[in-house]
A = this chain, B = another copy of it.
Amino acid sequence: MDIAAYMADVGQQAREAASAVARSTTAVRNQALLATAEALDTARGDLAAANARDLESGRSNGLDDAMLDRLELTPARIDAMIEGLRQVASLPDPIGEITDMTYRPSGIQVGRMRVPLGVIGIIYESRPNVTVEAASLCLKSGNATILRGGSEAIHSNQAIAECLARGLSEAGLPGNAVQVIKTTDRAAVGELITMPRFVDVIVPRGGKGLIERISRDARVPVIKHLDGICHVYIDSHADPEKALAVAVNSKTQRYGTCNTMETLLVDQEIAGDILPLLANAFREKEVELRGCSRTLEILPDVAAASEEDWSTEYLAPILAVKVVHGLDGAIGHINCYSSQHTDSIVTENYTRARRFLTEVDSSSVMVNASTRFADGFEYGLGAEIGISTDKIHARGPVGLEGLTSQKYVVFGDGHIRT
């Protein structure tokens, strides 16, 4: 197989399909989503069979349990895919919205119209349900999609692709509006991320290694999500009850997510009072603490943190703890070690809250709230294709709007420029 030629074909077909999708009505795109849901429901047997093939080769290739778990399409996961499609269909259509329409002194009327990006390439790892999730968000926002999942999920993804094709066809949309790459050859990824003629943006979903590799080699814009080294800073003017609630929830509500707190900062003025309470709370949750030297003076049982701990995303029940000199110490530490994902201050002090919001350069900044809220659904975006740690285009949780652009529309009556 000539991978470059195959991918150029895929790209060309996506580009052609993109105009048809962009022109389609809200009702047609929703119909395609709902028909795909029906098709998945009907194809449960085929999906299970395809998934069983993937699981079998996964096992014989020695995939670990966590990877096999992500790969599995249980009946509950198929239910969730179907439910997800229905939810995306029920979201408002972002496309075509015209905003900021004003008359200019010249007499022309100028506004901005929300439009699809065009062709979106999605690169992800083993979870086959991402195929449906990503395709549905791209389709809802009027884009064509090229999907490249992990090679271990190839049969599951192809079975899902057939359901998507059926859904598109029932709505009268071109089948190439969603293409799942048919080869597991890694060269296909290399082509996908270097075809600016055919692909408008790449959204990689997966581990940091994958995303760094793609960002480095891409010749197409990438909406990327690197790591989440999130902080909670407990200020000397914090309400201790809120401080405990926010700190414990930010760390323990889920360990493996990017918006989980990885480093706790405590103002030196209250460290002696509050650190023992925090240590108790984290001991109950079996969270291992690693402290700076001042933390160790207050909590002698705690292990010492190394320099590396301040920039580690544990994704595990481990928490780095540092005593800092007030707000300046906290902001200094965060702007040095944070991955600019999500950082929260606990304080009752108005001026400190305001400074924290302004001076911490992260995609989400919070006052008296758990970092775990940094999420497209919690923010009311209705959906989430990922969380961007970039500053360009989309920052923070990315919903449908992040998959669109705006063009200028101008209305005149024979107006000319003088």
Write the residues of chain A forming the contact surface with B, with a CB cutoff of 8 angstroms.
19, 22-23, 96, 102, 104, 106, 108, 110, 113, 115, 117-118, 200-201, 216, 219, 221, 239, 241-242, 245-246, 248-249, 253, 335, 344, 346, 357-359, 361-370, 372-374, 378-380, 390-393, 395-397, 405-418
Known contacts A253-B416, A358-B23, A417-B253; A117 and B411 CB within 8 A of each other: no
Please list 17 pairs of residues, one from A and one from B, whose beta carbons are closer than 8 Å in the complex, sorted by A's number.
A104-B378, A104-B379, A110-B380, A117-B391, A200-B392, A216-B219, A221-B392, A241-B414, A245-B416, A344-B410, A362-B407, A365-B407, A365-B409, A368-B414, A369-B416, A370-B417, A395-B408
Top 7 A-B residue pairs of the complex, sorted by shortest distance between their CB atoms: A369-B412, A242-B414, A249-B416, A366-B410, A372-B417, A393-B393, A364-B408
B-chain residues with CB within 8 Å of residue A249 when the two chains form the complex? 416-417
- Is the pair B115, A361 in contact by a Cβ cutoff of 8 Å? yes
Q: Which of B239, B379, B396 is close to A414, meaning CB atoms less than 8 Å apart?
A: B239
In addition to A246-B414, A367-B411, 15 A-B residue pairs with Cβ atoms within 8 Å of each other are A110-B380, A113-B365, A248-B416, A249-B417, A362-B407, A363-B407, A365-B407, A366-B410, A366-B411, A369-B411, A369-B412, A369-B415, A379-B408, A392-B392, A395-B406
- Is the pair A379, B239 in contact by a Cβ cutoff of 8 Å? no
B-chain residues with CB within 8 Å of residue A359 when the two chains form the complex? 19, 22-23
| Majority secondary structure, A binding face | mixed
A361–B22 Cα distance when bound, in Å, is 9
A335–B392 Cα distance when bound, in Å, is 26
* Min CB–CB distance A410 → chain B (angstroms): 4
* Min CB–CB distance A141 → chain B (angstroms): 13
Q: Which of B113, B253, B361, B417 is close to A373, meaning CB atoms less than 8 Å apart?
A: B417
A104–B367 Cα distance when bound, in Å, is 15
Name the residue among A22, A117, A346, A415 with the largest chain B CB count within 10 angstroms. Answer: A415
* Min CB–CB distance A228 → chain B (angstroms): 14
Known contacts A373-B106, A392-B221, A409-B366; A378 and B22 CB within 8 A of each other: no
* Min CB–CB distance A184 → chain B (angstroms): 28
- Is the pair A113, B357 in contact by a Cβ cutoff of 8 Å? yes
- Is the pair B108, A410 in contact by a Cβ cutoff of 8 Å? no
- Is the pair A221, B221 in contact by a Cβ cutoff of 8 Å? yes
